[in-house]
Structure 1
Amino acid sequence: MTAKRFQMSRKKISIIAAVLVVVLAVALFVFKPWLLFIDKNVEDQLPAALSSQTSTQSTPSTGDAMERTDKMMAENAAQHRQGTFISHEHQTSGKVDLIVDADGKKKLVLSNLSTSNGPDVHVWLSKGPVVEGQAGWFVAKDHEHFDVAPIKGNQGNQVYTLPDNINFSDWKSVTLWCEAFNVSFGAAELS
């Protein structure tokens, strides 16, 4: 009887072990915990339009030049929005700019980005506000958003081309959204 009991226990242990191995494999596949320890640095070339934003704000010496500069500044303001990232689920910092480059292409630019690596993180334009702290972790999912692209990396400078029909003034924020966990890594309010 004890031999049969031992054999039954051994069979149960084998089944339990097999189930645990499958559960562990699925968990590793879904959660990808190793990504927290791996940084992916991206260094896209920043558009010249970013540096020209400051040069157009110099003070002209004549009335006509002032008028032209005021007009250029108004046009640039309509075609340039920016924000600074705050942290949500993961420590996040950096700057975001929405610009129109010299070729007339609309771009979303992440500069000096630093956040955690994670599974399935995307760059979103969002119509939702940026809320600080834990209360802001899930705000973006409750508002209309445009999924720009999967994030290229969690460190550095990144440039994304936007569709021509994107109107910068329609969007309140940029969010780094983790699709796998439905949570914001960080967000930047646009102004």
Structure 2
Amino acid sequence: MLGLADRGRPVCPLQEVLVSRVSRRTYVALLLVLVVVAGIGLYLFQPWKAFTDTTVNESLPTASAPEVKDGPQKKDNAGVKDGEPSMTSTKPKDLAEGRFVTHEHDTSGTARTVRLADGGQVLRLEDLKTSEGPDVRVYLSTRAADAAKAGLDDGAVALGKLKGNLGNQNYTVPAGTDLPKFRSVVIWCERFSVSFGAADLAPVTG
């Protein structure tokens, strides 16, 4: 508290300069902190994706399986020798399918696993509708869809980043994957470790 003798005494110019410099440095430091925090927030949350959609429409891959003909080596009218492999078109075979249920984000559509004529396997998402998000991926899980909401299992297989939050898409299943042991398909956000939605896979009979 200023005494009576100090009241009305002018402030030292040097003191004013020091206070001004400290205030300016504090302001600049706070501004830099806010910019860094805002940048990190934008990187993590990518809020603009709440207002955008990415539509991907792919046809189911088709492949031809080689068919070997037995018999003597002679050419037919098409110029192909008997005993040589010829390419015969074979329809893909549905293995399992199921419908998506919502977890953290509204999700709908159908998931089905398909064996192609050449023996390759794909996961196909049809009429998919979910949200965009940061680092969203597609997984095969050994857990049921409801259980996958709590987290991915250790045996889950990643099929790649979600190509789009809308549409019809194909994801190659790695060679050697034992599809019957996987019970669901999960759309999983790696950034925040949450499931957007999942679909139980039930074997297709017939």
Higher helix share: 1
The alignment status of 1:36 with 2:50, answered yes or no, reads: yes
- Aligned residue for 1:139, secondary structure, equals coil
> Partner residue of 1:94?
109
Distance between the aligned counterparts of 1:2 and 1:130, measured in 2?
67
Q: 1:85 aligns with which of 71, 79, 100?
A: 100
Runs of 4+ in 1 over 6 A off after TM superposition: none
Partner AA of 1:137 in structure 2: K
| Correspondence 1:40-79 to 2 at 5 A | 40-47=54-61
Offset from partner CA, 1:132-178 (integer Å, 9 cap, x none): 8xxx53332x4420001111110000011212311221101100010
Task: Point out where structure 1 has 5 or more consecutive residues left out of the alignment.
Answer: 50-75
Q: Which has the higher contact order (CA 8 A, sep 6+)?
A: 1
- Aligned residue for 1:128, secondary structure, equals coil
Higher strand share: 2
How many pairs does the alignment contain?
159
| Correspondence 1:1-191 to 2 at 5 A | 1-47=15-61, 80-131=95-146, 137-140=149-152, 142-191=153-202
Whichever of the two has the greater Rg, that structure is 2
- Cα deviation, residue 103, structure 1: 2.6
Give RMSD over aligned pairs. Answer: 1.9
Partner AA of 1:138 in structure 2: A
Partner AA of 2:169 in structure 1: Q
Task: Point out where structure 2 has 5 or more consecutive residues left out of the alignment.
Answer: 1-14, 64-92
Distance between the aligned counterparts of 1:99 and 1:87, measured in 2?
23
- Aligned residue for 1:80, secondary structure, equals strand
Contact conserved, 1:122 with 1:178, CA < 8 A, in 2?
A: yes
Contact conserved, 1:128 with 1:144, CA < 8 A, in 2?
A: no
- Aligned residue for 1:131, secondary structure, equals helix
TM-score (ref. length: structure 1): 0.77
